[in-house]
């Protein structure tokens, strides 16, 4: 039996170069991809748990900080999507310490609103207002975005939820309380080049009320 025939029997694509792929190949790939995509929330949560025990010099570890941020957002009455963004905003710390916000934003982009994606993507710059001057950097770096429709929204995230979430005495909710939220948010794709537009969920663009 040829290698290609063996791959076909195993439900795998047979092409060795993209320029020779067929619709049948992609049917096999899509079939294998379906359970893989469904398991994405579990992989995300697994990586979030890796943040436990790594303090990086801070008063609490990175997982505690994430849980504190999400708990503060939940207690303030924010919706599930916002809470999940708060939970995962620093998930890129270990793999992208020089650009952690970009990693979190890229991961969340298919599943959240443009507004929440922008907030996560820019939060590191906005958070810099509180400490950049201690590092010889411009604490007002965020001013390049002043006048943007989501400036206040992101400023509030840092001031109310992210910034204060380094308190060893703060009692945050357990990760188990947020796990179903992660599964629900990641169940709906809003943006992806890999899906026909008619299958995407496109909610109306709204600016959440800022308390």
Residue 109: predicted pLDDT: 98
Percent of the chain as helix, strand, coil, to the nearest 5: 60, 0, 40
CA distance 66 to 56: 14
pLDDT value, residue 203: 59
CA 167 to chain centre: 23
What's residue 202's pLDDT? Answer: 63
> Binning pLDDT at 50, 70 and 90, where does residue 195 land?
confident
- What pLDDT, on the 0 to 100 scale, is given for residue 194? 86
Query: Quick one: pLDDT band at residue 5, thresholds 50, 70, 90?
Result: low
In this prediction, residue 150 carries a pLDDT of: 99
Asked if pLDDT for residue 144 goes beyond 80, the answer is: yes
The reply to whether 106 falls in a domain is yes
* Residue 173 is assigned to a structural domain of this protein: yes
Residue 157: inside a domain: yes
Answer yes or no: is pLDDT of 209 > 60: no
How many domains, the chain? 1
Query: Is 208 a domain residue?
Result: no
| Greatest Cα pair distance in the chain | 67
Mean pLDDT of 13-41: 93
Angstrom distance (rounded) from CA 126 to CA 118: 11
Section 119-137 average pLDDT: 98
Q: What are phi and psi of 162, to 5 degrees?
A: -75, -50
* DSSP 3-state of 74: helix
19 in a structural domain: no
Q: What mean pLDDT, rounded, does the chain reach?
A: 91
This prediction has a pTM of 0.88
CATH of the domain at 90: 1.10.3210.10
Q: Is 45 within a domain? A: yes
Domain membership flag for residue 7? no
Query: Could you tell me the pLDDT band of residue 1, with boundaries at 50, 70 and 90?
Result: very low
26 falls within a domain: no
User: What range defines the domain where residue 192 resides?
Assistant: 40-199
């Amino acid at each position: 039996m040829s290698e290609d025939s063996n791959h076909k029997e195993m439900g795998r694509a047979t092409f060795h170069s993209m320029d020779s792929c067929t619709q049948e190949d992609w049917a096999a790939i899509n079939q294998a991809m379906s359970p893989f995509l469904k398991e994405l929330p579990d992989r995300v949560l697994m990586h979030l748990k890796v943040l436990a025990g790594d303090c990086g010099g801070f008063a609490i570890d990175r997982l505690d900080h994430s849980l504190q941020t999400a708990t503060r957002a939940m207690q303030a009455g924010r919706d599930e999507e916002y809470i999940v963004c708060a939970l995962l905003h620093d998930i890129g710390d270990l793999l992208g310490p020089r650009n952690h916000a970009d990693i979190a934003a890229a991961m969340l982009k298919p599943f959240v609103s443009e507004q929440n994606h922008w907030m996560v993507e820019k939060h590191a710059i906005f958070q810099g207002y509180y400490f950049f001057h201690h590092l010889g950097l411009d604490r007002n770096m965020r001013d390049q975005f002043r006048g943007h429709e989501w400036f206040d929204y992101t400023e509030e995230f840092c001031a109310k939820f992210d910034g204060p979430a380094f308190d060893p005495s703060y009692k945050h909710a357990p990760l188990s309380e947020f796990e179903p939220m992660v599964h629900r948010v990641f169940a709906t794709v809003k943006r992806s080049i890999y899906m026909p537009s008619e299958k995407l969920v496109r909610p109306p663009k709204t600016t959440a009320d800022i308390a």
